[in-house]
Structure 1
Amino acid sequence: MNVTRTMKHITFVLALLLIVASGVQAQEIKARATLDRDTILLGDQIHLNLELEQNIGPKIQFPQIPDSIGKSIEVLQRTPIDTIKMEGRRIMLRQDFLITAFDSGPHPIPPVWFKLKYDQLTDSVHTNSLSLFVQVPKVDLKKGPADIKKPFDAPVTLKEIAPWLFGGILILAIIFLLIYAIRRRKKKLPLFQKPPKPKEPPYRVALRKLDEIKEQKLWQHDHVKEYYSRITDTLREYLEGRFDVTAMEKTTDEIMVALKYDTVKLDEKSYKQLKEILELADLVKFAKFIPVEDDNQMTLANAYFFVNQTKIEEKSPEEEEEENDEDNGDEEITIDLSDKKGRRKS
């Protein structure tokens, strides 16, 4: 009898301990499931949220939710499991699911089970069950189903017309280049022509030609007539470019008259030097006069002097900068007066 009573007491104590332990565990672990709303239209999407609140310690195995719940609810997306720290040693594990349904009527969502592990012991806890009701859109039977609405006319943006705009500009550019190339080809001109060089000032041309005459030493090699012809041709070209006088087609007298009575203004010294050069050259070319060496040298020196005295310099910015560092003087002419012989051909 005593043994029987003892066994009954032990059984009662164990049962009481289990009840207490279950109550404590129920307070420590809370699992729940929630929906954004419990009623939707066909094809609407809502969130199913699973939460497990517990103390730090037990290892939790989250349930593996398939791509469908029951026969009608579809799982579209799922988020990673998120751990949220709460007060004290409490934490919350959370996961969201995006779901939808295309069958009307009520659709139950059964409880979801979580597995727990305490050292060598295992247990499980589940959420509450839910119900999702899917409604069919209401149709006015008198009016019947409405037509599909036409798309709205959105304003055209620059991003949409930019390809067409740039494409049109490119096509116009290609057409312009083709027309330009055809016209250049008909005129037998190169497709791309370099811009012409600026015209050289008359005084530079004259001084360069006088330098060439000086270097060639024509009169020293008995080319006296050519020497004077080259000098006078150079001066005549200079007069045309500098004073706009058609000197190449005029006689010496006509040139001097044009320079004296036209709008050209020459100082007395320059006028006299030019006249002496042209008249001496006429004697050499037409009267077979052979000048002395002094005459040959002075003629070239006077030609240099006449050009330098009457020139109009056209200076570029670079030349103006160089002119600040250099002194521009008249070219020095060295005249050899060693032999002053002159003779006339009979």
Structure 2
Amino acid sequence: MYKQQVIRRIFLCCLLGLLYPFSLLAQQAVDVTAKADTNSIRIGEQIKLQLTAKLTPAQFKDANFKILFPVLPDSLDHFEVVARTSLDTLVNQDQHILHQTFTLTSFDSGHWEIPPMRFEVFAGANTNPDSAFTLPVGIDVNTVAVDTTKAFKPIKAVQSVPWNIWDYWLYIAIGITIVLIAIGIWWYLRTRPKKEKVINIPTVSPYEIAAQELKALKEEKLWQQGDIKQYYTRLTDILRTYFEHQFSIAALEQTSEELLQNIKPVTKLNQQRDKLRSLLAIADLAKFAKLQPTAEEHEECMRKAEEILEWTKPKAGAPAEEAGAEGEKQQA
């Protein structure tokens, strides 16, 4: 009795040892398929090839279990890969389905087979991968049927598309917008109020400025301090500046002789010509010849300058430009 029990246990252990690898293989087996949406196309038409791998829930949840889909090159025998989708997962009852779709085309007529696709299956972290293959997929690539019994038809002429204004609505809208903007800018520039030119009327007349400067020169007492050249330079510059502003004579850029010639058309100035000549002569000698005039000559030059200024003083209420206009009129 005891011997029969031992033999029975040994038999059961051997049976389990034989069945265990098959149970592991069944757990690791993956159902892979390759399926095309059609098995017949014409040259240049496209095929949808879908690769699918079905996993059990245990395989899907196993962190060490992994399956790698085949990587298709851009070109297979007689087929070209046009597009490919990313790997997607679909749960169907007790199965997890991984699938990927490839778009293929062919330009070779005949019966061709898409070769078997190889999937690599990793059952554990440190195990070598197993391979799972799909069955080949046969595709018939047909040419376009041509009836050779009929005569060739002539080539059709190029047909023109009828003109439609709505095909150019965007360009027309842009053109109208540009024209309206241009018209608006032109109208604005034409009708905008013009800015009046501001005329700055001097609040102090050239006569008043010259009179103030002569008075300041007298109070500085330059010749009394021995600065003869500076005294006569200031004195003649005051008169020349007054002539330039009051009578529009470029007196500052002219020599004494040129100035005496150019004041002739101005009646008021010409009447004081002798006094001006005498003053300029003494001033030139003092500035350039280092002449030392007497005190009486200093006083006399200042007095003559004041007399010339008073004699040519404009009338009350008359603008400063009238005297200059008089000189220009006499020159004409």
- Give me the TM-score of the superposition, normalised by structure 1: 0.41
- Give me the TM-score of the superposition, normalised by structure 2: 0.42
